[in-house]
Amino acid sequence: MWRQKGQDMIEYALMLALVVGIGGFIYTQGYGDNISAVFNNAGSLLEQVNKSQEEAKEEAEKAAAREADRKYADHLGDLLKDAVTNGTIKLSNGSSVYLLVQNEPNSKYYNLHMNGAKTGGQVWIKNANGNLVDYGNAGFNTMLDTVGGNYQDAAVKQDGVYWYGVQIKKDGDGYTLSYMDSNKNSYNEDHSGFDINQANAPYKTETWTPAP
């Protein structure tokens, strides 16, 4: 047993001497600076790799948030098309209505992150009694109620986006759907309203004609 330990110590001593010898040779031959540069470059490369990984992770998170918001906007677009088809919403030519999700709770709509708007000509909304009433009397809250969406999950996932949603506009016998968002803080009245004209250019549009 002592003989085995002695042999191990001799082997370790020989390995240490070899490493020291190689190190001394490298130093005396003037390769020290080159090796230092190699290690420095390797460290810099590792920093770049870590930075690239962080940037890729951030981009992936942004893309996932954008995808989640736009998927919910597609859901709102389907709700609007259904509402026009079944007569819950009626638009005069050139008029538009909007269903919108905002990143602040709306004090005028159950503190949910939902809002709505109307522009252009006359718009009628079917109320709880089944009667079509002018949007000016019904308001966006009646519209949201009668459209019938489940808005509990409505949220803005993207950083820097204040609201997003969908517009449907009547153009003759057909309709145009525009999907839009805004990175401008245009809230007023305790987050219960905003300037629809501060929307970015639509990121998607489509034409649609209700089935007879």
pLDDT in tens, 11-62: 555 655 565 555 555 556 555 566 566 556 656 766 666 667 778 888 899 9
Instruction: Say what the alpha-carbon torsion angle 199, 202, 203, 204 is, to the nearest 10 degrees.
Output: 150
Domain extent listing, the chain: 2-52, 73-208
pLDDT band per the 50, 70, 90 thresholds, residue 207: very high
Of 2-6, 34-38, 124-128, the range with the lowest mean pLDDT is 2-6
Average pLDDT of the chain is 82
Are the C-beta atoms of 94 and 169 separated by less than 8 Å? yes
* The pairing of beta strand 89-91 with beta strand 123-126: antiparallel
* Segments in 86-180 forming alpha helices (H): 135-147
- Residue 162 one-letter amino acid: Y
Beta bridge partners of 181: 164
* The pairing of beta strand 163-171 with beta strand 174-182: antiparallel
Sequence-ordered list of residues with C-beta below 8 angstroms from that of 32, at least 6 positions apart, any chain: 26
Q: What are phi and psi of 181, to 5 degrees?
A: -150, 175
Give percent above pLDDT 70 in the chain: 75
